[in-house]
């Protein structure tokens, strides 16, 4: 009963911390997810008290945005006046500037340092050559056995330590009220939110490391509270320790709202100036390409569309397949669908027909590669060989270092990499996923059909081109611990290529096509072939996995490849702001081990547009918007839209909030500068030689320099073209979505096609505010959408 009681309190207290994701699957999630049940303004202030740090942009950021017109002055004055701030914006900016800068003091530095030492030793995932003993017994038990050997702790006997973590908590907390116990737990969990966030992640995911070497938040609290009591450190936070360096949060909040509404108004203004493209889209496209909704897809989609008769769509990058993927190169199975979705399927690789010998050759080459890596690692780390090996091989490593430093572009060979890929000889196989074993039987036809049908339903598909390409995306960079953060967020920070290939295989299946035709009136022409592909977001190259393409489509494939190469060239020129050699430049960036910004990821994300491509096709959205294809006329009951709002909209809110908080305080909610990063345990980074585990993106992912921001810290504005009644019904059925809107973690704007495409803004309590007449769409856009 005591154990169960503590676990309930720990669960409540743990809401103060977010989830810290490991480097190998770094999901950009909201670090304040536990506060989402509160209004944003109140939530960030409460988080500031418990976690510290800044929760709004700096005054200089607001001033710059106002000077450059990103904040409309009229909008700002109206926002301030409505909330009883009667002076000018300049007056309030000066007032915010005059506030004394306060620095937080860590009164528990010794306690933190000791905890970090033990956590780094226990939670190591293969980086340390010598493991901490007794890890199999769990964190508290192993610490209890070994603690007497820590000279700093001065423990004489095991008898001085309780046998279980629950005994520690009971002994130390028994004289406090239940509320005080929760506050104590919150305080000590929030002391090291990076480490406790990763413990939380291990508990929730029950990873292989967690199954073998268990650590829980209860273990952490027991060790920390025992140490605090042992060193006579106060276990409960005193009132004067609450950090509150921001005495004008309401002012900052209203400056932020004015900035966000100014951005929304500009988006609406841009949308209403759209030109009619109807005549260009009446004929069947030469090819259709489905990209992830990722903001980086907007650039390449525009450039692909400009190169020929191509139609593009936006769809969540896991392509509707809730799967784990077993990598053929290392044998490790990783999640490849949104973290909020349970994996229903396991996907692995099998040989293509008549290519068993080629796949076998790949696997043997891969085994040799793994052995060579293992052998070299052992030679460096074994005591008898370490010095001699390093001395003897130094000259060869020296040449390697020089070449990688001086000629990164020349050493990057994407053509050869693609030729050596197993995807030329293998194809994905889908099975049911179970907790303890993998079912090797094929999944039923009904499930295959449902996966493919769902994709077409959500995107509002009307016609089929001869080539339909599902384009996942991934990022390629060198010497980048945060590389997975640049991969597909909808695939839990894995590349989306595997999901794209799987969906293409299912859509090509004759039985699936027949079932779609007979049961769902979706008639796919026999001449239509589906392909998987990958968009490399660092180089903007699109690799087509075409090894199974029939000869009848060879000419169309060659034409498409030529246009994709041209699209890569124009896209990279636009992204880098240069006029020549842009592809060479991105090859250099992707393979340069000194490059701190191989690409910008999803920086500048601020909007999520759900609607047909015609809403945005002629606009340069400058990477600000996620784009999900949707046709309300093919979704009269709103089922497809509900799926988009439940899944992709929530995931994009996670991403947006992660970038927001990593920008407003990169030290607290981000990763700090890459320059002083050290990898710990293969799963995270710390600054220097210790301290808290960093929970977010590094400074170089959101800033152009130490002082100049690149990402604009704005909350997500969602724009949907659908009947307002449909959206209201969805919100009434999904209270968690309504809460996100009511609490202003995201904004919602609706283009209602049943009301002359009038645009309305959602307000708390299911209220709607119509925009002015000048914000309606022009007649030519009305005719198109």
pLDDT single digits (tens) 514-536: 999 999 999 999 999 999 999 99
Closest CA to 452 of 531, 385, 513: 513
Q: How sure is the predictor about 774, in pLDDT bands with cuts at 50, 70 and 90?
A: very low
How much is the pLDDT for 782?
A: 44
How much is the pLDDT for 245?
A: 45
pLDDT for 178 beyond 70: yes
Q: How sure is the predictor about 226, in pLDDT bands with cuts at 50, 70 and 90?
A: very high
Using alpha carbons only, give the angle 566, 571, 572 rounded to the nearest 5 degrees. 100
Q: How sure is the predictor about 394, in pLDDT bands with cuts at 50, 70 and 90?
A: confident
Q: In terms of pLDDT, which residue wins out, 98 or 74?
A: 74
Q: How sure is the predictor about 415, in pLDDT bands with cuts at 50, 70 and 90?
A: confident
For residue range 469-509, list pLDDT tens digits in order.
999 999 999 999 999 999 999 999 999 999 999 999 999 99
How much is the pLDDT for 239?
A: 60
What share of the chain has pLDDT > 70, as a percent?
95
Q: In terms of pLDDT, which residue wins out, 474 or 773?
A: 474
For residue range 723-752, list pLDDT tens digits in order.
999 999 999 999 999 999 999 999 999 999
How much is the pLDDT for 5?
A: 80
What share of the chain has pLDDT > 90, as a percent?
79
How much is the pLDDT for 241?
A: 45
Please state the rounded mean pLDDT for residues 353-369.
Answer: 92
Output the CA–CA distances (angstroms, integers) from residue 254 to 211, 316, 327, 390, 439, in the order listed.
47, 33, 48, 60, 54
Whether the Cβ atoms of residue 582 and residue 572 lie closer than 8 Å to each other: yes
pLDDT for 769 beyond 90: yes
pLDDT for 775 beyond 50: no
Please state the rounded mean pLDDT for residues 664-677.
Answer: 95
> Which ranges in 68-108 belong to alpha helices (H)?
73-82, 89-97
Q: How sure is the predictor about 145, in pLDDT bands with cuts at 50, 70 and 90?
A: very high
Q: In terms of pLDDT, which residue wins out, 330 or 318?
A: 318
pLDDT for 384 beyond 80: no
Cβ neighbours of 125 (radius 10 Å): 18
Q: How sure is the predictor about 778, in pLDDT bands with cuts at 50, 70 and 90?
A: very low
* Average pLDDT score, the chain: 91
For residue range 125-139, list pLDDT tens digits in order.
998 888 999 999 999
pLDDT for 430 beyond 60: yes
How much is the pLDDT for 275?
A: 55
pLDDT for 17 beyond 70: yes
**What is residue 725's three-state secondary structure?**
helix
How far is the C-alpha of 164 from the C-alpha of 419, rounded, in Å?
56
Backbone angles phi, psi at 710, to 5 degrees: -105, -45
How far is the C-alpha of 243 from the C-alpha of 105, rounded, in Å?
9
How much is the pLDDT for 244?
A: 46
Using alpha carbons only, give the angle 374, 379, 385 rounded to the nearest 5 degrees. 160
HEC secondary structure over 522-584: CCCCCCCEEEEEEEECCCCEEEEECCCCCHHHHHHHHHHHHHHHHHHHHHHHHHHCCCCCHHH
How much is the pLDDT for 439?
A: 58
**What is residue 468's three-state secondary structure?**
strand
- List, in sequence order, every beta strand (DSSP E) within 215-269: none
How much is the pLDDT for 736?
A: 96
Q: How sure is the predictor about 391, in pLDDT bands with cuts at 50, 70 and 90?
A: confident
């Amino acid at each position: 009963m005591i154990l169960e009681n503590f676990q309930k309190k720990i669960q409540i207290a743990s809401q103060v911390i977010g989830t810290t994701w490991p480097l190998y699957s770094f999901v950009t999630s909201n670090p304040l997810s536990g506060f989402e049940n509160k209004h944003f303004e109140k939530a960030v202030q409460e988080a500031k008290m418990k976690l510290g740090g800044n929760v709004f942009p700096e005054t200089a950021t607001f001033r710059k945005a106002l000077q450059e017109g990103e904040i409309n002055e009229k909008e700002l004055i109206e926002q301030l006046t409505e909330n009883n701030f009667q002076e000018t914006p300049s007056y309030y900016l000066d007032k915010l500037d005059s506030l004394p800068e306060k620095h937080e003091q860590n009164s528990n530095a010794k306690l933190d340092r000791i905890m970090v030492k033990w956590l780094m030793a226990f939670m190591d995932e293969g980086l340390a050559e010598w493991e901490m003993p007794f890890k199999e017994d769990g964190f508290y038990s192993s610490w209890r056995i070994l603690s007497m050997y820590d000279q700093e702790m001065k423990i004489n006997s095991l008898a001085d330590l309780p046998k279980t973590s629950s005994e520690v908590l009971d002994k130390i907390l028994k004289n406090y009220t239940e509320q005080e116990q929760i506050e104590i737990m919150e305080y000590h969990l929030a002391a090291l939110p990076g480490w406790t966030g990763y413990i939380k992640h291990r508990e929730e995911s029950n990873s292989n490391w967690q199954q073998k070497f268990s650590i829980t938040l209860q273990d952490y609290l027991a060790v920390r509270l025992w140490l605090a009591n042992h060193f006579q450190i106060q276990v409960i936070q005193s009132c004067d320790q609450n950090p509150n360096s921001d005495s004008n949060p309401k002012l900052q909040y209203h400056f932020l709202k004015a900035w966000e509404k100014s951005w929304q108004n500009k988006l609406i203004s841009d949308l209403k100036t759209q030109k009619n493209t109807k005549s260009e889209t009446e004929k069947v496209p030469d090819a259709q390409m489905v990209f992830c909704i990722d903001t980086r897809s907007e650039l390449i989609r525009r450039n692909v569309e400009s190169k020929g008769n191509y139609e593009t769509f936006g769809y969540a990058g896991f392509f509707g397949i809730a799967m784990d993927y077993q990598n053929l190169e290392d044998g490790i199975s990783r999640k490849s669908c949104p973290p909020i979705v349970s994996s229903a399927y396991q996907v692995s690789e099998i040989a293509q027909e008549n290519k068993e010998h080629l796949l076998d050759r790949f696997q043997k080459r891969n085994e040799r590669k793994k052995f060579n890596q293992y052998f070299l690692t052992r030679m460096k780390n074994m005591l008898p060989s370490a010095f001699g090996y390093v001395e003897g091989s130094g000259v060869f490593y020296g040449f390697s270092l020089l070449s990688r430093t001086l000629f990164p572009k020349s050493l990057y060979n994407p053509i050869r990499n693609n030729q050596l890929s197993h995807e030329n000889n293998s194809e994905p196989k889908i099975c049911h996923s179970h907790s303890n074993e993998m079912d090797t039987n094929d999944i039923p036809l009904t499930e295959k059909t449902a996966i493919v049908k769902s994709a077409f339903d959500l995107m509002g598909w009307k016609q089929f081109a001869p080539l339909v390409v599902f384009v996942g995306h991934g990022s390629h960079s060198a010497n980048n611990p945060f590389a997975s953060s640049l991969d597909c967020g909808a695939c839990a920070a894995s590349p989306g290529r595997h999901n794209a290939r799987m969906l293409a295989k299912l859509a090509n299946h004759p039985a699936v096509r027949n079932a779609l035709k007979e049961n769902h009136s979706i008639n796919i022409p026999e001449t239509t072939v589906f392909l998987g592909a990958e968009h490399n977001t660092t180089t903007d190259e699109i690799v087509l996995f075409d090894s199974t393409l029939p000869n009848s489509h060879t000419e169309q494939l060659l034409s498409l490849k030529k246009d994709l190469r041209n699209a890569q060239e124009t896209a990279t020129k636009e992204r880098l702001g240069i006029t020549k050699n842009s592809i060479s430049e991105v090859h250099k960036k992707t393979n340069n081990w000194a490059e701190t910004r191989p690409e910008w990821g999803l920086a500048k994300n601020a909007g999520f547009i759900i609607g047909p491509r015609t809403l945005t096709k002629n606009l340069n959205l400058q990477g600000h918007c996620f784009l999900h294809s949707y046709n309300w006329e093919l979704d009269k009951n709103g089922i497809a839209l509900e799926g988009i709002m439940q899944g992709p909209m929530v995931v994009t809110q996670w991403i947006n909030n992660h970038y927001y908080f990593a920008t407003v305080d990169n030290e607290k909610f981000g990763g700090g500068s890459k320059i002083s990063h050290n990898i710990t345990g293969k799963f995270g980074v710390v600054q220097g030689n210790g301290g808290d585990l960093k929970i977010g993106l590094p400074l170089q992912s959101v800033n152009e320099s130490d002082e100049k921001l690149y990402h604009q810290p704005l909350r997500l504005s969602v724009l949907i073209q659908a009947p307002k009644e449909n959206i209201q019904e969805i919100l009434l059925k999904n209270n968690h979505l309504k809460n996100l809107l009511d609490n202003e973690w995201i904004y919602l704007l609706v283009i209602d096609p049943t009301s002359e495409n009038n645009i309305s803004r959602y307000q708390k309590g299911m209220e709607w505010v119509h925009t002015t007449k000048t914000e309606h769409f022009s007649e030519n856009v009305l005719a198109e959408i």
